[in-house]
């Protein structure tokens, strides 16, 4: 079956630091891939997506590239802000639904 | 545009009691999902509706959980009786249709069973 593996958190960074959150997946074929973000007390929000190999999804300074060779979809941001503190979920599409990773908490300090 | 609405936001009940959660999806969204999110975990699908039809309920524990989506709009998820292990966040999401994987989530209902 489909599965998503994310790096464990929390990831603790200072403001303006570079962020990488690793995500790898197991699936049949080439599913669409997503990053969702969950701020405290809120539901998940779609951050970015990629629908085919080598696609780069981007939004709000975050980027992720669909790498079929390494079955990865790592999330990156060049300069994080305190407001980016949240839990980030990697997900893949299949069987008419999404399979999520366990989430990675990001804590950014001033 | 209003987002996915869920109520209540928080619920505390004693074990063996019944509980119900309500969800109003984004207008025009035909597909509705209920997810279970345990602490420190990602959401796990419980049931998926296409309009009023439950098309995937394979992960729904049917001995105590039930769901309905009357008229293909609002949905209710019920647990009866609740167990301690049911303490979690119950998320509702919707999408335009089953071919769209862009799901929009509500804020969730945090259930605590004592």
**Predicted confidence pLDDT, tens digits, chain A (110 residues):** 889 999 988 999 999 999 999 999 999 888 999 999 999 888 899 999 999 999 999 999 999 999 999 999 999 999 999 999 999 999 999 877 899 999 999 999 99
- Beta-carbon contacts of A44 under 8 Å, excluding residues fewer than 6 positions away, are A36, A37, A38, A89, B43, B91, B93, B103, B105
Would you call A31 helix, strand, or coil by DSSP?
coil
User: Could A103 and B56 be called an inter-chain contact, meaning their C-beta atoms sit closer than 8 Å?
Assistant: no
The answer on pLDDT for B98 being more than 90 is no
Amino acid B1: pLDDT: 66
Chain A hits for B4, Cβ within 8 Å:
43
Place of tokens 């035909």: B30
Beta strands in B57-95 (DSSP E): 65-68, 75-79, 88-95
Q: How far apart are CA A90 and CA A25, in angstroms?
A: 9
- Does the structure show a pLDDT above 70 at B41? yes
B71-96 residue pLDDT tens? 889 999 999 999 999 999 999 999 99
Of B109, B103, B107, the closest CA to residue B86 belongs to: B109
- Residue B40 is nearest to which of A45, A49, A102, comparing CB atoms? A102
Which pLDDT does position A27 carry in this prediction? 92
Residues B21, B100, A9, A86, CA torsion sign = negative
Q: Which is more confident, B1 or B29?
A: B29
Asked if the Cβ–Cβ distance from A42 to B107 is below 8 Å, we say yes
| Beta carbons of A96 and B42 less than 8 Å apart | no
């Amino acid at each position: 079956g489909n599965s998503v593996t994310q790096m464990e958190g929390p990831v603790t960074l200072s403001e303006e630091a570079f962020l990488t959150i690793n995500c790898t997946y197991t699936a049949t074929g080439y599913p669409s891939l997503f990053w969702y973000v969950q701020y405290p007390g809120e539901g998940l929000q779609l951050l970015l997506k990629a629908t085919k190999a080598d696609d780069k999804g981007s939004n709000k300074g975050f980027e992720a590239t669909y790498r079929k060779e390494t079955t990865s979809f790592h999330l990156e941001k060049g300069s994080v802000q305190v407001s980016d503190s949240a839990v980030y979920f990697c997900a893949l599409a299949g069987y008419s639904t999404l399979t999520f990773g366990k989430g990675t908490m990001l804590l950014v300090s001033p | 545009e209003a987002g996915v609405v869920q109520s209540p936001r928080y619920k505390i009940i004693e074990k063996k009691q019944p509980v119900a959660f309500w969800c109003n999806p984004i207008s025009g969204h035909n597909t509705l999902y209920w997810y279970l999110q345990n602490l420190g975990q990602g959401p796990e699908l419980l049931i998926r509706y296409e309009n009023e039809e439950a098309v995937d309920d394979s992960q729904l524990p049917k001995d105590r959980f039930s769901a309905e989506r009357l008229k293909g709009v609002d949905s209710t998820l019920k647990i009866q009786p609740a167990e301690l292990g049911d303490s979690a966040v119950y998320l509702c999401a919707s999408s335009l249709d089953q071919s769209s994987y862009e799901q929009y989530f509500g804020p969730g209902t945090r259930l605590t069973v004592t």
